[in-house]
A and B are shown apart, each in its own frame.
Chain A
Amino acid sequence: MRKAINIFWVLILLGMCDACKRTLKIADYVRYVNGKENGLLKKVEVDGFEYSVQYKPYDYIILMENKGSMMSENTGKRKAELAGTAWFNISIKRNDNTTTLLRYGLSSLDQYNTRLDYYLNKAQNDIWLLYGKDTIHPASYLFENNYNLTPQETMVVGFYLPKGDNCPKEKMQLSYNDQVFKNGIIKVTYAEKILDNIPDLTY
C-alpha cells in the first residue's frame, strides 16, 4: 500500500513538473526565440544562399512592436488580435553577405524591377504552411523593403490557423518555393515539442 502511495506521489510530481512552463525575462525570452538551438529559428543553405525562417510567438511580436516593452496599454488587445494566427519571418541572403538579393546576378534595371515586383506582389503565392494535416495559404504578407541597405531581405508572412486553434499547437511545416534563384522548395518543420517548450514571458 505504502509503495503504491509513493508511486502515486512521484507521478503527481512528474505531472506538475511537466505542466509548469519555464518563464523568462524579456532579454532572455528574445534570446530564446532568436537562438537557433531552441528550434524557433531554422536555417537552410542552398547554393550559397541562406534562408532563415523565424517563428514568432505572440509575445515576441508584441515585444518587437513595442521596442522591447510589454508595459503598453494595448498589449492585451494586441494579443487578442493575434490569437488564432501564426507568424514567420523568411529572410534570404547570400552566405558571403556581399550583395543584396535584389541586386544579385542582375544585368539590367528591368530585371531588378521584375525581381522587386515578385517579392512585393507575387512571392506570397509561393508560400504555404502545413499545419497538422491542413495546408493553409498566407492571410497576410509583407516584403520589408530595406532599399538595398542590408544584404538580407525579409518577408513577413502570417496564417490563420484552422480548427479554431487559439495559438499554434500542432506540427507546422513552412514551405517556400523559390522562383527567383531556382533553389527549389525550402522547407522547415516545427515539431509540437518545440512549440510546447516555448517559455512564458515574465515582466
Chain B
Amino acid sequence: MMQKNERRLLLYCLAMCVVTGVIVTWLINSQPKRIAVVDAVKLFDGYNMKNELEELAKRQLQAESKQIDSIGNALEMAKVVHTDEEGIKRLSYSYDYMKSKLQKDYEQSNHDINEKVWKRLNPLLQDYGKKKHLHLIIGANGMGSVLYNDDYFDLTNEVIKYVNTRYAEGN
C-alpha cells in the first residue's frame, strides 16, 4: 500500500507535469508568426492604385473605341450608298488601323499597370515583412506554388490594408 506522503508526492508530480505541458503549449502558440502567405492575385486586385490606373486607362481606351465605332459606321454607310471605291478603301484602312492600335494600346496599358503596381508593391511588402519580423512571405497565386495553407498563415487581407494605407498616406 502506498503511504500518504508518497501519494501526495505523486499527485504533486502529476500536477507539475500538467502545468509544464500547458506552459509549453502556450509558449509554442504565442510565438510570433515568422512565415506568411499572401494571395498575390488578391493583393494585386485589392491595391487601390491598380484600380485607379485601370480607371484612367479605361477612359482613354473608351475614347479610342468610340472613334473606331464612328469610322465603322461611316464605312458601313459608304458601302450601302456605294460611294467611290477609293473612299471605301481609305475608310477600311483607317478602321483596321484603329482596331489594331486599340488592341496594342490595351496590351500596353495592361503591361504598364502591371509594371507600375509591382514596382510599388515589392518595397511595401519588404517593409511589411521587416515591420512584422517575418522571415518569409510566400506569394500564393493559384498556380501551384502553395497547395494549401490555413487561415493562420494567410495575411492577405492585412497586407492589402497595409499597402492601401501607405498608398493613401504617401508611399
Known: A182-B112, A184-B49, A185-B53. A173 touches B119 (CB 8 A): no
Q: Which one of B15-23, B65-73, B163-171 is at the A interface?
A: B163-171
B168–A189 touching, CB < 8 Å? yes
B171–A183 touching, CB < 8 Å? no
Chain B residues lying within 8 Å of A189, measured Cβ to Cβ, are 168-170
A44–B168 touching, CB < 8 Å? no
Tell me what chain A mostly uses at the interface: helix, strand, loop, or mixed.
strand
A188–B120 touching, CB < 8 Å? no
B61 CB to nearest chain A CB (Å) = 16
Count of interface residues, chain A, beta-carbon cutoff 8 Å: 17
B171–A44 touching, CB < 8 Å? yes
Is residue B52 contacting chain A, with contact meaning CB distance below 8 A? yes
Given A44, A177, A182, which contacts B119 in the complex, CB threshold below 8 Å? A182
Chain B residues lying within 8 Å of A184, measured Cβ to Cβ, are 49, 53, 116-117, 119-120
Interface band, chain B: 10 to 19
Chain B residues lying within 8 Å of A42, measured Cβ to Cβ, are 170
B32 CB to nearest chain A CB (Å) = 28
A189 CB to nearest chain B CB (Å) = 6
Chain B residues lying within 8 Å of A188, measured Cβ to Cβ, are 169-170
Cα distance A47–B171 in the bound complex, in angstroms: 11
Cα distance A185–B112 in the bound complex, in angstroms: 12
A187–B119 touching, CB < 8 Å? no
Given A45, A173, A177, A182, which contacts B171 in the complex, CB threshold below 8 Å? A45
B168–A187 touching, CB < 8 Å? yes
Q: Sort A-B residue pairs by CB-CB distance and give the 7 closest, nearest first.
A: A184-B116, A188-B170, A44-B170, A42-B170, A184-B120, A184-B49, A185-B49
Chain B positions near chain A (C-beta within 8 angstroms): 49, 52-53, 56, 112, 115-117, 119-120, 123, 167-171
